[in-house]
Structure 1
């Protein structure tokens, strides 16, 4: 299908289930996709941070995209990360994921090297010139160590270089600037990557959300999106607060022995395993696994949110 312009709605950054041997678990991946589609999500984002794209081999990245696009057969828009350190490496990923069926690519600023804004602009222009599909910027300073300035992004939007942005910066004031400026560029999508302020971002005028927690509770985020669009402020506030409490699961991992990514991605996968969606909760190496006691705490979060013991087709 043709990518909507702008891309709107709930677009989960899909987890990548792995086998105990840390190969892509394709049957679990496709069950997760079906779970998300049944919940009413509006698109899927493969190979992002929540997908553990940084840990996957190039062959595994392509395998994920090819499996999902073949399974969906055009039911929903599928966008895919082409995330790497430098422009030549990103271009290789763009060719691979679009060849596997992705309908747009998601690209960060260059990283590892210290990069000037002019080089970031050149990076996005070079990628857009070579890409056969739309390019969506990904602003995630915690990983890239560069914040994409609103004027840079909007300038590229105005030139037709960027089709949208996923903003995971957590900077709500800067996000407002993006939303306000995007009104001059019809078709440019502004999506938040924040689980905890989705309602606020939508109230500001965001086109949609890309929350990692939507893997675990896609029905909740679809409800939240619909409530926001219907101006049901009380319903949206209640749903967002429930989701914020559920998001507490990302903090169960002991920071004295594991990183924040290990804790968060491990929590999402443990929750999906507890809900019966995926076969194995293992994360990619060198991430440290959650302990049994930590997984029990995740189960309590699910129970409090009304998700444990429920059929995964819960509406």
Structure 2
């Protein structure tokens, strides 16, 4: 069942760029191999960490196809399909070749700040047109609107192809209500690396992770212990990652993770404006942390 395949750790894949700003497909292939070899359970393409708002729609379609082909069935794939216009999201569903994907991740509409009823009607419409199961994505710090537990649960109960939520509200009480009242097999995934263990301790199913881009092997060791119910062991494993994970977000995402990956020699640290590369201080911080904690 697809819900079981998408528990655990999904790597929220970056989009590498060449020095002149084009998509770097050689580096993208390296990143796909790197996270799969690091043990991630699945890959999430075209999410927040992929700088999707700066990608043209044709670029997104090509990236989705490239990732599908390079994964070649090794792990499941979730493709980000979202936006602040419901009709534009439907356009993406028509334009993208989703035949190799297992589910879509769809963010709450941003900037226009819909009501809870507006959020529900948006996802109802998307669900009616989606050929794949849907994971909702709630990230109020970026979108300007919080999808409440009540709205998430309403969608989970009413919309049969809505199979889970990536919760990045930072509100553990909200997450707990979803956990307590969710339908059977409804996935509750952390959208914050630092909250993953607490959410899993309470019955959550895993995380869609930024850290798994940079430190997949070490991060999977930590989450593997949590999946086995050894939360003390997982917390001990996480102690070696804690400062590095915080550093990933010190200057924003994906600025931090691209800086870390460039230190490790996997990509260059090019981002698209309005983002700018990480500072020299951040780069020095990652050089120290990667060496000190053996994070390669």
- Scaled by the length of structure 1, the TM-score of the pair is 0.88
What's 1:305 paired with? Answer: 293
Counterpart in 2 of 1:115?
Answer: 114
3-state SS of 1:222 partner: helix
Q: Secondary structure at the match of 2:266?
A: coil
Q: For residue 260 of structure 2, what is the aligned residue in structure 1? A: 271
Residues 247 and 282 in structure 2, CA contact (< 8 A), matched pair in contact too: no
Where does residue 224 of structure 1 map in the other structure? 222
Partner of 1:210: 208
Give the root-mean-square deviation of aligned CA atoms.
1.7
| Deviations, residues 51-87 of structure 1 (Å, cap 9, x unaligned) | 1111111122112111110011222111111121110
Are the equivalent residues in 2 in contact too, given 1:85–1:112 (CA < 8 A)? yes
Aligned to 1:78: 77
Shift of 1:6: 6.5
Q: Which residue matches 1:313? A: none
In the alignment of these two chains, the number of paired residues is 295
Deviation (angstroms), 1:252:
5.1
Once the two structures are superposed, residues 176-215 of structure 1 have per-residue CA deviations (whole angstroms, 9 ceiling, x without a partner) of 1111112xx2232110011112111111111111121111
**Distance of aligned partners of 1:220 and 1:95 in 2 relative to their CA distance in 1, 3 Å threshold:** farther
Distance 2:288 2:31 in 1: 22
C-alpha change, 1:8 and 1:195, in structure 2 (3 Å) is: same
Which residue of structure 2 aligns with residue 64 of structure 1? 63
- Does the Cα contact within 8 Å between 2:259 and 2:277 map onto a contact in 1? no
* Rounded Cα–Cα distance in structure 1 between residues aligned with 2:20 and 2:42: 29
Structure 2 residue runs of 5 or longer lacking an equivalent are none
Match of 1:188 in 2: 186
**Structure 1 unaligned runs (5+)?**
254-260, 311-315
Q: Distance in 1 between matches of 2:217 and 2:7?
A: 16
Pick from 231, 252, 270: which aligns with 1:282? 270
SS in 2 for 1:163: strand
Quickly say closer, same or farther: Cα 1:31–1:118, change in 2 above 3 A: same
Normalised by the size of structure 2, how large is the TM-score? 0.94
2:53 is aligned to 54
CA separation of 1:117 and 1:59: change in aligned 2, threshold 3 A: same
- Pairwise CA distance, 1:42: 0.7
* Alignment check: 8 A CA contact 1:98 1:132 kept: no
